Structure 1
Amino acid sequence: MAIDDTDEFGLSSSDEADLLNIEAIGSSNGKRKNEDVDVYDPKRVRVEPASAAGLAIANKILKERFGMNGFRLKQEPAIGRLLDGGSSVVVFPTGGGKSLCYQVPALCFRYVDEQQGIRQGPAESGITLVVSPLIALMKDQVDALKRRGISAAVMDSTKTKEEHLQTVDAMRNGTLDLLYCAPERLNNEGFVSSMANVKGGVRLLAIDEAHCISEWGHAFRPDYLKVARFAKEIEAERVVCLTATATPHVAEDVCKAFDIPQSGLFRTTTFRSNLHLHAQAFETKKESYPKLRMFLKSFPGSTIIYVTLQKQAEELAEQLRSHKFKARHFHAGMKTEEKMACQDDFMSSDNLIIVATIAFGMGIDKANIRNVIHYDIPRSLEGYSQEIGRAGRDGLESRCMLYLCAEDYHIRESFARGELPSKASVANLLKEVFSTKPTPAPESHIQGNLYQQSKQYDIKVNTLNNIYAQLELRFRLLRATTPKYTKYTFKRLRPFDWDKSTAGKAVQNHAKLAKTVYTIDVDAAATTSGLSRHNIVRKLNDWHESSIIDLQSSGVVNIYRVEKNWPPAPEEQQRIVDDLYKDLEFREQQALQRMHEVTALVTGESCFAYSLAKHFGDALPDGAVECGQCTWCEKHKAVEKIEPPSRGWDSAAFFKILEAVPDRDDPRYLARIAFGITSPRVTQARLSGHKIFGSMEDQDFMTLLNAFTKVCEK
């Protein structure tokens, strides 16, 4: 089944052509012009306080460049702290204007510098670097900034060589105000070096979706753990971390990562008085569907209906259209042009219903969304809060409905259980990693093909990334560097034998033709010609961009520099396996707990808005304990908690699984098949379409795991 559980972050793969070292952006000696630059330390900022003068400039820029008459929420004090040289953590609700908290300061720095006489010339004004996992949103923001005459760019793998060089020139010339990039780019050593030497320095490092830093957060991303280290390496003057969903524990984690005191935390209330929070419980989807239709007829207007599965988005949209509703579906599996058309229709319509996975909504700046409906159980209270926050940004009355259905629990538990591999899988993976011999010094690199390791050890790629990140950050054994592709193929569009350059000859000598497609061993071409791998890749991409060849690259291999004596001692290796697995087990329990927190919110005997605010360390206005307009406040009767129907142990189904799957090396693999959880090994064995797959989904997962464990031990 196609699941969009991580589609809110549209990740792009690292493109080796794009990851070639950017030519020195800084001065020729690799040092910044201002020699008194301190290493990044939020307690020791080198700029003088901007105070009232800086805020006056900020308000002027807000009006002239963004067309707004004044700041709202706590934008002004957060921006003021940044202009004073301090770092901030900004926790505003969805649609609360977080982006302005770095976009306005980015434009202020030139004026503040001129007032203080700190720098001379535009090339010394530095840049604001924005790290965000939302590729589509970054591009949308850059386009919007450019329309306002603001110099901004995205550094990603979709850029042509010309676009890439234009961005580099803009940084070199001091004409670029904001540069956006994904967190994965921080593994690119060339990029890190360039940012450390950019003229004028990185004045502000903005980290969007900063809750991804926290291991307690609902969307923890290993690459985000590296941002704090990156901030020190590039000597960023100040940092602003932004998120819409941070519990007190998560906010504390983010502050701690960047050594930001509580005075630098700017949090506003999550409560929105114009949102009516409602919930209903049902045994089956069949029961809830008539209620959904009735709701949509009663409350017309622009509506988002969130579901979990891609197929479900398509089917529900079709059902609604059959009942004369204007509805479309949206999910990550659609083509880009289809998704863009869907978003455009939604933005221009006042009555379109979008049935979508969580892939939809990030960056949708539509003020008049009247309804947000969760047709499935949200993945967490943080996700629920973020998604309902897209309704009623115009301040008008809007409704948020959650349909609690017993059928949904299985899908949510599958997500939680699906990320945890068996301990034997983790041990075998690390055995391979630790037995890998590094390349000769001084490089001392090892490499890992995460795609192959995922299949070989039955570990999902997200979990593999987490394991490698822990080896890097927690155990300090490795350091991720620029990844590379292992396979390059191309079709010839025009002759290239005229290219007599050393790199051109190397490609011609090593390119092997099979029918209409050439394959080239880039490493062999580099070794034979005496050129670097980068030179060969650069030549291939030059030909591709000149329409001489149609180039395809695949097989990303991650490269890691060994940081300590290698390999670790046997007893240390075992300790690492034990510690890593405990961490993975804890994450599984966290995911299960988040599902239960959502259920508890709507089935508890208290106001929905009050309970949600309490979860985020917040409160209702004037100390109120009821909003007066949620399901609890209207009825003072708890929504019934619906449990999935259970049945006795199905021995017949159990033995059919054992009969169909002869493997006895991993009980978790067998339990996943029984429960209906996909994994790399399940997919490789083509069992997800077998009748035994999910045949025991109504059983307790741990009971299944224990039963299969006994069989495997025999």
Structure 2
Amino acid sequence: MSEFDSGDDLFDGLDMDQILASQPPASTGNLKRTCDRETEANDRDNRLKKQRNNGRDIINQNLFPDDGVLKELQPENLAQMEVAQKLLTETFGYSSFRHEQAGAIGRILAGANVLTVFPTGAGKSLCYQIPATAFPQLDLQDASRKPGEHGITIVVSPLIALMKDQVDALKRKKVPAECIDSTKTWEQQQEIYAALREGKLRILYCAPERLNNEGFVATMRHVRGGVRLLAVDEAHCISEWGHSFRPEYLKVARFADEIAAERVICLTATATPKVVDDICNAFKIPAEGVFRTSAYRPNLNLHARAVKTKHDKYPLLFQFLNENPGPTLVYVTLQQQSVLLAADLREHGFDAEAFHAGMKVDAKTEVQDKFLANRIRIVVATIAFGMGIDKPDIRNIVHFDLSSTIEEYCQQVGRAGRDGNTANCMFYICPDDRYIRENFARGDLPSRKSLKGLLVDIFGENAAKPVGDTFKTSHYVQSRDYDIRQSPLAIIYAALELRFGLIRAITPEYSEYKFTATPSYFARMKTDRSPVGKAIYANATKKSILHHVDLTAIISRTGLPRTDLVRALNELHDTGLIELKAGGIEQKYRILQPLPRPDTPALAALVDDLHADLARREADALRRTQQVEDLVTGDRCLALALAQHFGMGLPDGKSQCGHCSHCLTGRRVVMPPKQVREPDLAGIRRILAACDVRDDPRFLARIAFGIKSPRVIRLKMHNHPVFMTLADHDFETLIREFEKACDGVAE
């Protein structure tokens, strides 16, 4: 999964007009009508100071553009922006808005929907934090609402760590904010809901997965004062054309309607014209509600070098690091690769450490803290590094591998030079890089046989259930049994829910509860006369050290509500009487329409539709990687190519930045050709001899190519000597050869 970055306020104290520049966006979809508001935005604060509450001295300005025609700022809009300006200064500590912030905030306060496309660090969060804190003051000014009736701003964000950082920062500014997530205890959640009932909370952060919780949706639907604003962070995740598509994000637009959110702001740092269109269509955002700032950074030097093999990159990297001092991030693809490359760098005298998602939290925190404090110079990292890293003096970004998307590359180079000083970004590329990216892409498309088996499992017995009934399933078990990775499995379920309207995800449940008991637990439970307490004490079976609680069995015997039993177990944990461990999560779904039965034309059509969609996604993933290669090896300015990918251009219509590798050398980066191999039939036979599977040619091709999947791992084929022996072959050719070997068995 790609890393999501929504770090803000990292350009503080800088002259942003010289660091960032914008160009009119390309005339595509919603971008066609968005105009370049950079120049007007630079003067907004001065204009606001010249205006008066009576509106007599109002001058034309571009807070609310409509087809390029400037509207006058009405007295009520002026009053709103004066409150916003005061909050900006007194609460958030900034003297003036930057670029498109004022326009976006003004439009939100006027009650309209907004999309902001600002580069990483350009202050996206203020665009919803200021309206959220302005609503109470504005309500009291116009006497439209009573105290406590000011409503809530909900922020949907994909990263718990960043949500917590934002909440902590807001609390330091005396802004009532909370984050509701899986780490919260039952008591903490009750405190949050109490603050909502009492109208004391201004901003509530949650993950998109929270929207499957029926209780949460119902609470937000009836929250005191209503939902004044729904902020959708990392909004590109909603677009199936986006680089970080997440199925759960598809439900956010439905959530906005269900809770009757008064207005919506979507925020992203990376959005192509097609992604902008998708976001705008989902949330009913007109073209005049799109606010963009160019991703071009004149202080970043974008360089690229092509070599024949991976090994050829090492001396170039060592030379680059010797010639370019300062804090440096080196991005690689694989976790183990980060460890090995960091070790290689240390052997050559460089101060380097690895960082990847598989490290323990304490180890990752230590590396981050040392890098921020300049106690280590180089971090060799996977995409896991960068979330919320507030380090303005990063001087170098090195891509040692091929990025998965142009958007990922843009986010990562955007972490350099946030202090406005020159930074160098080097991209090393070779034909070998394609393998890892193809490996990732090819692992997500299941065979038709696997897909049909999954659908039969989902619908099977459940097809006899009436509309409105529910069923539970384990995604983990289905992934294992039908050889489908978790990511495509989530996409399949999202399609069944949102495209076909067959089911709806509701609050998931844990199937297993275990705990270790303290002596106080027994003393307490022996005297507990409540039905729930007696049921837990009587039915908690000790196995070795842990006590096991079978909730399904207890509910069957006693008829007690599951919620009461879970709450009691959480209370015992929160009070220190037990140490509770929940596991075996089961997803739960409500049936919305009669489900197709196995071996019917309806199910066969569904298999065909879903398989075609997943095949398209595989092709899209391969195409996005090819786009990165084309960007790096193209015969034009790298900075221009990057800007044009996002529907924009360079300042003043320039065709060259003058400081990228193409501009400096006048030549394109040429990728050495990849050798095309004829099928190794002997290698095919060795794999067939090692594995007796004959029902899935794609599975056999994965073994040959070196792609792990649930079935490959279950059969331990990833440890067999034949695994990855044909990695230098074309994957489609391998599938065709194994189809022949399987006597023409179709996928």
TM over 0.5: yes
CA contact (8 A) 2:596 2:602 kept: no
Q: CA deviation at 1:607?
A: 0.3
Q: Which residue of 1 aligns with 2:620?
A: 590
- Whether 1:57 aligns to 2:83 is yes
Secondary structure at 2:500's aligned position in 1? coil
CA contact (8 A) 2:397 2:416 kept: yes
Q: Deviations over 1:186-224 (max 9, x none)?
A: 000000000001101111100011001111111111111
Distance 1:488 1:660 in 2: 41
Q: Which amino acid aligns with 1:710?
A: K
Q: Which residue of 1 aligns with 2:46?
A: none
Distance 2:716 2:631 in 1: 39
Q: Which residue of 2 aligns with 1:515?
A: 544
Q: CA deviation at 1:544?
A: 1.3
Distance 1:199 1:412 in 2: 48
**Counterpart selection for 1:679 from 709, 712, 718:** 709
CA contact (8 A) 2:467 2:592 kept: no
**Counterpart selection for 2:260 from 235, 240, 244:** 235
Q: CA deviation at 1:655?
A: 1.1
Distance 1:316 1:139 in 2: 32
CA contact (8 A) 1:368 1:392 kept: yes
Q: Which residue of 2 aligns with 1:561?
A: 590
Q: Which residue of 2 aligns with 1:16?
A: none
Distance 1:134 1:682 in 2: 30
CA contact (8 A) 2:695 2:742 kept: yes
**Counterpart selection for 1:98 from 111, 124, 148:** 124
Unaligned stretches of 5+ residues in structure 2: 7-73
Q: CA deviation at 1:150?
A: 1.6
CA contact (8 A) 2:356 2:381 kept: yes
CA contact (8 A) 2:683 2:726 kept: yes
Secondary structure at 1:316's aligned position in 2? helix
**Counterpart selection for 1:118 from 117, 120, 144:** 144
Q: CA deviation at 1:367?
A: 1.3
Q: Which residue of 2 aligns with 1:506?
A: 535
1:306-705 aligned within 5 A: 306-349=331-374, 352-437=377-462, 443-494=468-519, 495=522, 496-567=525-596, 570-705=600-735
Q: CA deviation at 1:580?
A: 0.9
Q: Deviations over 1:75-126 (max 9, x none)?
A: 11001000000010110111111111111111111111111211111x2111
Distance 1:183 1:698 in 2: 39
Q: CA deviation at 1:49?
A: 8.6
Which moves more between the two structures, 233-242 or 48-57?
A: 48-57
- Whether 1:107 aligns to 2:107 is no
1:26-425 aligned within 5 A: 50-121=76-147, 123-349=148-374, 352-425=377-450
Q: Which amino acid aligns with 2:111?
A: G
Secondary structure at 1:354's aligned position in 2? strand
Q: Which amino acid aligns with 1:614?
A: Q
Distance 1:355 1:285 in 2: 16
Q: CA deviation at 1:706?
A: 0.5
Distance 2:194 2:626 in 1: 52
Q: CA deviation at 1:467?
A: 0.3
CA contact (8 A) 2:4 2:234 kept: no
CA contact (8 A) 1:439 1:446 kept: no
Distance 2:251 2:694 in 1: 39
Q: CA deviation at 1:605?
A: 0.7
Q: Deviations over 1:132-161 (max 9, x none)?
A: 111111111111111222211110011122
Q: In angstroms, what is the RMSD of aligned CA positions?
A: 1.7
Q: Which amino acid aligns with 2:413?
A: I
Which moves more between the two structures, 320-329 or 557-566?
A: 320-329
Q: Which residue of 1 aligns with 2:16?
A: none
Q: CA deviation at 1:500?
A: 2.1
Q: Deviations over 1:355-408 (max 9, x none)?
A: 111011021122111111111000000111111111111111111111102221
CA contact (8 A) 1:506 1:526 kept: no
Q: Which amino acid aligns with 1:354?
A: V
Q: CA deviation at 1:351?
A: 5.8
Q: Which amino acid aligns with 2:117?
A: V
CA contact (8 A) 1:301 1:350 kept: no
Q: CA deviation at 1:530?
A: 2.3
Distance 2:192 2:324 in 1: 47
Q: Which amino acid aligns with 1:413?
A: E
Q: CA deviation at 1:7?
A: 5.3
Q: Which amino acid aligns with 1:632?
A: H
Secondary structure at 2:689's aligned position in 1? helix
Q: Deviations over 1:542-599 (max 9, x none)?
A: 1111221221111111111000123369222222111111110110010000111111
Secondary structure at 1:124's aligned position in 2? coil
Distance 1:500 1:315 in 2: 59
Which moves more between the two structures, 348-357 or 297-306?
A: 348-357
Q: CA deviation at 1:290?
A: 1.2
Q: CA deviation at 1:439?
A: 9.0
TM-score in terms of structure 1 length: 0.92
Q: Which amino acid aligns with 1:711?
A: A
Which moves more between the two structures, 84-93 or 154-163?
A: 154-163
Distance 1:244 1:652 in 2: 49
Unaligned stretches of 5+ residues in structure 1: 11-47
Distance 1:713 1:71 in 2: 68
CA contact (8 A) 1:472 1:478 kept: yes
CA gap 1:641/1:160 in 2 versus in 1, 3 angstroms? same
CA gap 1:134/1:507 in 2 versus in 1, 3 angstroms? same
Q: Which amino acid aligns with 2:627?
A: E
Distance 2:734 2:577 in 1: 57
Distance 1:86 1:9 in 2: 26
Q: CA deviation at 1:603?
A: 0.8
Secondary structure at 2:659's aligned position in 1? coil
Q: CA deviation at 1:528?
A: 2.0
Q: Which residue of 1 aligns with 2:36?
A: none
CA gap 1:440/1:660 in 2 versus in 1, 3 angstroms? closer
Q: Which amino acid aligns with 1:311?
A: Q
Distance 1:96 1:144 in 2: 17
Q: Which residue of 1 aligns with 2:10?
A: none
Q: Deviations over 1:265-304 (max 9, x none)?
A: 1111111111100000112222111111111111111111
Distance 2:563 2:322 in 1: 60
Distance 1:50 1:182 in 2: 34
Secondary structure at 1:185's aligned position in 2? helix
Which moves more between the two structures, 305-314 or 506-515?
A: 506-515
Q: Which amino acid aligns with 1:97?
A: G
Distance 2:720 2:210 in 1: 40
CA contact (8 A) 1:279 1:401 kept: yes
CA gap 1:677/1:353 in 2 versus in 1, 3 angstroms? same
CA contact (8 A) 1:151 1:175 kept: yes
